[in-house]
Structure 1
Amino acid sequence: MSGEHVTIPLPDGTRLAATLYLPERLPAPCLLEALPYRKDDVTLGYRAEYEALAGHGYAVCRVDLRGTGSSEGVARDEYPPEETGDLCAVIAWLAARDWCDGGVGMYGTSYSGFNALNVAAARPPALRAVCSIYASDDRYTDDVHYTGGVPRWLDLVDYPAYMAAMNALPPVPGVYGDGWREEWLRRLSATEPWLPRWLAEQEDGPYWRQGSLRPRLGRIEVPTMLVAGWADGYGNVVPRLTAALERGGVPYRVVAGPWSHADPAHALPGPGIDLLPEMLRWWGRWLRGDTAAVPARSAVVFLRSSTPPSPDRPLVGGTFHDLPAWPAPPHRAVPLDGPLTGPGPARVLPGEAGSRTAGAPPAEAESRWVALPSDPGIGVAVWNTCAGALPWGQPLDQRDDDARSVTVEWEVPAEGLAIVGNPRLRVPVRAPGGGALAVRLCDVAPDGASELVTRGLLRLPAGDRADAEVELDVVAHRVVAGHRLRLALATAEWPNAMTLPDTGPVHVGLGTGVLLLPVAEGPLGPEATGLVHTPPPEPPETDGVVWTVERDVLGGVTRCRTGYGSSAETDGGGSYADRYEGEVTLDHRTRRQTATADTLFAITWPDGPAVTARSRVEVVADGGDLTVTVTVTATEDSAELRTSRWSSRVRGLPRK
């Protein structure tokens, strides 16, 4: 089934490029996905999904967002203010077509999952339901920009670099038609890279609230399906949004598995499922009125179990469970009174909330302060907290980083321990010069292997004493009997996050600290039925993939390198290829850090020229200040068409 190219007019006269996949029987409900990732070449490979949905009787519309792909305009930023209005206009246009029955659903993965939620909060009349896959409700706390108020570092060599290059590609000549080259020149002249603004906006506020659903969770009134993965970095939306939907009486469904930021059918780690039947049941209920398809509220949750860590695990232990709603077990308060560091006898986790000092005299509890290590390179084994295809793999064995951290550990009960939700650490801190508190919760096997369960980071205020609360990422994980639960504390999580300047010691008061664990008592729920399971994932392809960690012992520098790419044919005998190379470094003595990325897109068309767009991103953190330089070059038939360069300096992070 081939798609039909159409243009959709917006109220301001801008035209968006869209592709329609229409079923045989019309009129039909329509499903909309809107992305900045070029529907006709870069993400053309997703077409099989739209064809499958059309084969089940749904019209599908795929849209290039303003200023991207073959749409007119300028891509000024991710989730700009006009984007939601544009998509509300698109929904109205779709609902008015004679081939549409008047009902529209919106769905998508990552970026299009974000804007599906944002559009739902805008309440366009024809929107009946949404399905948001691997998306977030908060750009500042739960995206690729900041974590705990600290800039993400490893992400600098990926998303910001490839968006700078992708936005410099031209419209597709055969789709845009006459004037495509003039539109390309206008795009090259007017489009600026997004990264400098992201690094300049260091504090949460109005800029990050734009495009973030979190301040408006209660605005969603249409049925909402959320798909999340425990190896993906965007899962924290699930407990927040389901709680708001519960309060508002809005139907929802959650499908949460072990997956990374990839199709659940083949994402690492598995086990995987075919998501198409889940979506068909969802759309059947809310776009076709099939009340037997799915309950008004329900959840399918994979409870992961202890599994040896590996960067490319094909499978993890655990089971899927059917539940009437997203589980929200109460938090159990666990005192931080286990042994500090080392394999000595550990306390057994209490079965219910007890005193925070487990009977220790107040004076003894108050004196239990420890200094966190100042090692700026702790965290390499965490890697990137939003895994996907290699080299964005899964966390490594944490034991080396654990050995360089302050750790507290406990034996788990004989029946094991099921953690479902967001753990939180509450602990007093003394950080006269500010700094960061990095928290890792690990599952430690009898042989000493340390599997990362979840993590959290918080930029600390400067001061003699403050009470800190660190919320760790959402997870559903069972620590099996015979294993230990380990809490590891440090002041860095590099290269996932930037290491802050050395502003002096950071102390934590373990004696009055408490770990709040959302512990599911008893069975989580019956084992899930009705899922369409997929074969175990094949070993990931590693040809052309670079993932190295190097330590210059004499120079005191750690260097991490990444590299990957792909190629494919496009419609009509054209071709598409991309390549991404990145490097981050950390000088352990001076804490100077660098991030360098090179991205290349190359496209040929049978009825047009060969074009390329190349970006180079260079970021240096020195003394807390950031210097960012972005260079973008576009070529046509090997001749340079335009090179643009932007450079700016951002003052160091303000101390809260």
Structure 2
Amino acid sequence: MTATDEGKMGSASEGLNVTFGVEMHTRDGVRLLSDVYLPVGDGPWPVVVQRNPYDRTDAGMGSMRIVDPAWLARQGFAVVIQDTRGRGGSDGKWKQFNEDVDDGYDCVEWAASQPWSTGSVGMYGSSGMGLTTYKAVASQPPHLKAAVAVVAPTQWTTRAPGGPFEVSFVTWYALKMAMDTVARLEDRAFATSAMDRIMARMGSIAETWDTLPLSSIDPLSDPTVTDGYWLDWVLAEPGVERPGATVSLSDKPEIGQTALLHIAGYRDQCAPEMFALAAAQKDSDKHRLIAGPWTHRGVYSGASGAREPLGTSSPGGPVGWGPVLAAWFDIHLRGGDGSGFPLGMSWIGGGGGVRCYVEGTDAWATAPSWPPASVVREWILTSNGTARSAGGDGRLVPASEVGLTSGSDHVSADPRDPFPTCGGGLGLPVQGPDAIQDQRAVDGREDVLVYTSEPLEIPMTIVGAQTLVLEFESSAVDADVYVTLVDVEPDGFALNVCDGALRTRYREGRQDSWLTPGVPVELSVELHDTAHTFRPGHRVRVMVAGGNYPRYSRNLHTKTVPELGDLAEAQVAEHVIHNGPGTSSRLVLNEAAAGSLTF
């Protein structure tokens, strides 16, 4: 093909042979349906597969989300779009992605054996389709030569790192997935009634996720509607899939022979798992990472909330990420050099295994691996005892500063009036404004502690995950700690750089790591990965609150699992952060080492 062909769109009938509803049977005899797009000609061709846990016929839920399969087929690939088990047109029962290791393996090997296949198979997908891609990679099928995963988790969990329940997204997602389950029920009268109840809940989604206990939400509480998965999700421990889960790349980050490309967003709720997997592949020459300032939705359009960083929109315009996928698969499935896709090669070519967008500098850089090499810079939290709100006296000072005194700051957390979510890693419009948002909308509240540095004299670029260590005590046996790192610009705009969360009952890998009221403990809150430059004249700020709602569920500050309790038993907690040089409270930033990033 010529460079001018790259990115062309056309109808599915132009230069294609498309067969709908092609059957494949899994090792246990379950029939799965696929649509197969073949280029015109004799073939054979390398095959790229997308496995869809929603409905392969719904373009908005996957089949065209990052690339039009018809366009990809016209680049000389056979394309298979398959409904996963128990979804769309496929038979069987959906098991919350647990079946996608074996089924993904079977699909890859089936595709490799077809008469129109060269035997070289790739997989791709974003979000849920990216998760099924990761599951197949974990199974290491012998014919899976390459894969691309975009804003995707490596395993299905309902809790963020640190333990809080992703209440608004997970509630919506449970209702969405219940629709297909209900549509398959033989009792049509019950199915109609259940669908009406689901749609009513969707129509008042904020009221739905406000419900406590969450386990009582109708119709999710009905095991016929959800096949019992709702209670499993509510009770799930952090980082643990439901019973019956199979191997995941989180547990065993081995990609075998598969050339794996991740496309991750700093403010995507799936990002922590993607960056952890990328870090585990630092010595692999078959691994590449593209990391940008996106949220879960922003990767498709480049939208980043209240700011639009330059050069971060979808590289192929209406074709989405197609040129990048085509270049990757050209190299790894048919031995090409990607030169027929110059736009795609501009994203994956060049030196280093990582291409990352550096906010603040507003430019793309490359690095050998993730995270780029860095040096630790520590900042001390200090105040005169009134760090509540941005109008308080909380300060961040370099650890080298002398003459500081130790003290403490007090702040309350009320589950009936929780500190509100303001931007960050939201996956749905109904959750509120996502991505970059001016934190001045919330930092004047009295239920947040704010510590701010003096204006910087020289730029500081941070990379990877950051950490806030706190000497913390509470009046409650369980507490939530939500941290936001902020870049305060000279005009006052308070840009949320990254954030992290900790539910203290989970801090030691158990569900019952209770606090002793009034007794200080050391807590460590990891903030999500980023690459960001604080420019001269900007100030570094850290915000600490006891809530982040509705992104995360409210902590009732009792021993009751918060999602199973009721506001009637909720308690207002009084938290204390001990600060100053005589305490363990400090902000630990990883500053990019000289030469670690190439612009």
TM-based fold match above 0.5: yes
Aligned twin of 2:367: 323
Q: What code does the residue aligned with 2:331 have?
A: R
Q: What code does the residue aligned with 1:149 have?
A: G
Following the alignment from structure 1 to structure 2, what is the Cα–Cα distance between the partners of residues 500 and 427? 19
User: Would the aligned equivalents of 1:135 and 1:235 in 2 still touch at CA under 8 Å?
Assistant: yes
1:53-202 correspondence runs (5 A): 53-76=72-95, 78-80=96-98, 82-140=99-157, 144-169=158-183, 192=227, 194-202=229-237
Q: What code does the residue aligned with 2:493 have?
A: A
Query: Which secondary structure does the structure 2 equivalent of 1:243 belong to?
Result: helix
1:55-454 correspondence runs (5 A): 55-76=74-95, 78-80=96-98, 82-140=99-157, 144-169=158-183, 192=227, 194-202=229-237, 204-205=239-240, 207=242, 210=246, 212-218=248-254, 220-247=256-283, 249-262=284-297, 264=299, 266-269=301-304, 270=308, 271-272=312-313, 273-274=315-316, 275-291=321-337, 294=349, 297-305=352-360, 318-339=362-383, 340=387, 342=390, 350=398, 354=399, 358-359=401-402, 364-365=405-406, 368-376=407-415, 377-383=417-423, 385-387=425-427, 392-394=432-434, 396-403=437-444, 404=446, 405-431=448-474, 433-454=477-498
Following the alignment from structure 2 to structure 1, what is the Cα–Cα distance between the partners of residues 432 and 145? 35
Identity %: 24
Q: What code does the residue aligned with 1:160 have?
A: A
Following the alignment from structure 2 to structure 1, what is the Cα–Cα distance between the partners of residues 356 and 73? 28
Following the alignment from structure 2 to structure 1, what is the Cα–Cα distance between the partners of residues 392 and 410? 20
Following the alignment from structure 1 to structure 2, what is the Cα–Cα distance between the partners of residues 106 and 502? 44
Is 1:470–2:470 an aligned residue pair?
no
- If the length of structure 2 is used for normalisation, what is the TM-score? 0.74
Cα-to-partner distance string for 1:519-554 (whole Å, 9 max, x where unaligned): 124576444xxxxxxxxxxxxxxxxxxxxxxxxxxx
Give 1:455 deviation, angstroms: 1.1
Give 1:159 deviation, angstroms: 1.1
Query: Which secondary structure does the structure 1 equivalent of 2:147 belong to?
Result: strand
Cα-to-partner distance string for 1:545-598 (whole Å, 9 max, x where unaligned): xxxxxxxxxxxxxxxxxxxxxxxxxxxxxxxxxxxxxxxxxxxxxxxxxxxxxx
Aligned twin of 1:15: 31
User: Would the aligned equivalents of 2:168 and 2:431 in 1 still touch at CA under 8 Å?
Assistant: no
Following the alignment from structure 2 to structure 1, what is the Cα–Cα distance between the partners of residues 150 and 76? 21
- If the length of structure 1 is used for normalisation, what is the TM-score? 0.68
Q: What code does the residue aligned with 1:450 have?
A: A
Q: What code does the residue aligned with 1:155 have?
A: F
Query: Which secondary structure does the structure 2 equivalent of 1:494 belong to?
Result: coil
Query: Which secondary structure does the structure 2 equivalent of 1:18 belong to?
Result: strand
Q: What code does the residue aligned with 1:424 have?
A: T
Name the CA shift for 1:153/1:324 in 2 (closer, same or farther; >3 Å): same
Is 1:489–2:544 an aligned residue pair?
yes
Following the alignment from structure 1 to structure 2, what is the Cα–Cα distance between the partners of residues 203 and 224? 26
User: Would the aligned equivalents of 1:70 and 1:170 in 2 still touch at CA under 8 Å?
Assistant: no
Over aligned residues, Cα RMSD in angstroms?
Answer: 3.3
User: Which ranges of 4 or more aligned residues in structure 1 deviate by more than 6 Å?
Assistant: 187-190, 344-348
Q: What code does the residue aligned with 1:451 have?
A: L
Name the CA shift for 1:89/1:218 in 2 (closer, same or farther; >3 Å): closer
Query: Which secondary structure does the structure 1 equivalent of 2:281 belong to?
Result: helix
Aligned twin of 1:51: 70
User: Would the aligned equivalents of 1:128 and 1:286 in 2 still touch at CA under 8 Å?
Assistant: yes
Cα-to-partner distance string for 1:92-117 (whole Å, 9 max, x where unaligned): 11100110000111110011211212
Following the alignment from structure 1 to structure 2, what is the Cα–Cα distance between the partners of residues 488 and 321? 28
Give 1:266 deviation, angstroms: 2.0
Name the CA shift for 1:46/1:65 in 2 (closer, same or farther; >3 Å): closer
Which structure is higher in helix share?
A: 2
Following the alignment from structure 1 to structure 2, what is the Cα–Cα distance between the partners of residues 153 and 38? 24
User: Would the aligned equivalents of 2:32 and 2:84 in 1 still touch at CA under 8 Å?
Assistant: yes
User: Would the aligned equivalents of 1:154 and 1:384 in 2 still touch at CA under 8 Å?
Assistant: no
Query: Which secondary structure does the structure 1 equivalent of 2:528 belong to?
Result: coil
Following the alignment from structure 2 to structure 1, what is the Cα–Cα distance between the partners of residues 148 and 380? 40
Q: What code does the residue aligned with 2:24 have?
A: I
